[in-house]
Structure 1
Amino acid sequence: SDYIAGQISLGIKVELILVEPEDYFTALVWTTGSKEFRHRVFGDVKPAQLTKAGSEEEVFKNLQMSFVPPEMREDKGEIEMAREGAIPELVKPSDIKGDLHVHSDWSDGGATIQEIVAQARSMGYSYVAVTDHSKSLAISGGLNEERLSHQGKIIDALNQEMEDFHVLKGIEVDILRNGSLDFEDEVLEKADVVIASIHSHFNLDKEKQTDRIIQAIKNQHVHIIGHLTGRLLNRRSGYELNLEPILEAAAKFQVALEINSHPDRLDIDEDTARQAKDMGIKVAINSDAHHREDLKLIYYGLLNARRGWLQPEDVLNTLEYDSLIAHLKNKGRR
């Protein structure tokens, strides 16, 4: 047989398809993407019946189409774009200039700030934000005002030692039950970047949960909403939300939405990312790293961003450091 299907111990379905070497690239395109994509592009034609090709790009050229990246092959408008030669240049790893959501050993992370910097530099970044938890998340070692201030002084000193790399003073501040934040404005205004996230009261009804997030978005010091829906894949559904008013508020108040790259989250999903793009909302692709090696998880967020058709200009952390700081400061002046 030239086809074997099975399931590995993690529950992931696997297919093994055997083809002749000269049919490899055609089969690769034929077997990626959704069934709807395959049907519309190939109809009932099998790979062996198509013109031989030496690359995926050549397969599409033979079909009189621009190359469609694998992440876009879903029959959601990309086929028409490919036939018109209008496929966008999607964000790629080299576009990412830094990570804006990283936890250190000051809260529940396992790495020192210096170790985080070393890892970020090894990945070619020019900046990283240290965003430890705030005080209400005591179980995770959340920082109070005094510890946050002390951490900021250490970061300032560290930045004085480096010419080609920058550490942003950040905080992942809890969104409380009523939508207020875990720190007062006079504390938040001292941070370079503020991520507001929900870590409690997941079972509020849709109206209250939606209003809770919108109240956080309206705070002039909030730059990013972290892991918006709260989902944990295969473990917990996201909380009840009405996305439309949240997206409208994010667009109005210039607040970015995070693609949390942890494989358990991938939150926001690709559909919401595409909605955000269409509404002019910036997206931050972050690792939410809690250990040094976790910074590499940003790869999965990038895949999600590409599935949402995001281009470099749609992503907050593709900005160079000076442009990023100007953007963050300008947001607080509205």
Structure 2
Amino acid sequence: METTACFRGYRLSTCGPMDHSQAPILQALQAYHDSGQLPFTPPGHEQGRGVDPRVRAVLGEAVFRSDVLAVGGLDDRASSGGVLEQAQQLMADAVGAGQTFFSTCGSSLSVKAAMLSVAGPREKLLIGRDAHKSVVAGLILSGICPVWVEPQWDEDLHLAHPHLTAGVRRRLRRASRCARRSGGDALAGDVRSHIEAIEGLHLHGRDDFCGPGRAFDADPLQLVVDVSALGTGGYQIADWLREHHRINVGLADHRRIGVQLTHADDSQTIGTLLDALQDLRKPATELPPPPRVQIPRRASCGWSRPWCPVMRSLPESTTSVTAGSRSRRRGTPHALPARHSGRTAGRAPD
């Protein structure tokens, strides 16, 4: 039986097909403007009225008119309109997730929130040894003790392949099917063949990154181009593309550049990229060679014993103040989040 909930005139299905033509946040923002709301709330520019004219000349007015609080803005004080709830349910349905949470401040904040939701101070959490720095910041913030999982180092490609469990592979297989349905392969296929045909460039693909002991699948819209055959490095190529073609690549290292394609790209932007890459061969011979990178032996990269980053980041003795009383604790961070029941993470030994 299908049940529905009503949010500000929308009927949201909680069992059965959902209406993905709805855009709750966008529609709520339009309703906010149409109803003539007058904010005396953050942000302080108050719909752009207080913006410096020089800033407005560059950014325009629309960005400030869209800078609206979710509570007491897009929705009322009690969030009775369910604007965010409906939008998050639509997103979860679109990507096949059980639940979705929207976040601000980029993915780094989401990483910390996810870590804090599953483990607390001195509890253990499996962490990839090549994790992003936001993960290390999350360890320090939470007091979680990492159990490091070593990646699969590739001596030939000078990169690390992920260490995947069977459960992770099942989830990735499901996500991969969604990506294939979105047409990612069709968009990238022609571009990839053109790049691979350029002398001196090698475009990494599934043959390089996927297979036993490696990733389950590779996103065809992420173009990872090895430029080492040109006698220079990825950093030098990235700088040259920006200076001479006004093209900015997403990533670069001592032998590769990374280019991201999205649904926003068309024949014009892709043509500009291909022209720039075709133009690389002659100037590449004049660019400096990449600096020699000393790759340490894998055995020397591990830790001699388990440790909690928070214990290395704080003074030997810290003071915390709670409810007007002062207590002194050794090696305990300030304002550590309380542990809650139902955790699956194990507790680290004292």
TM-score of Structure 1 vs Structure 2, range by shorter chain: under 0.3
Structure with a larger share of its residues in helix: 1
**TM-score, scaled to structure 1:** 0.25
Computing the radius of gyration over CA atoms, which structure comes out larger, 1 or 2?
2
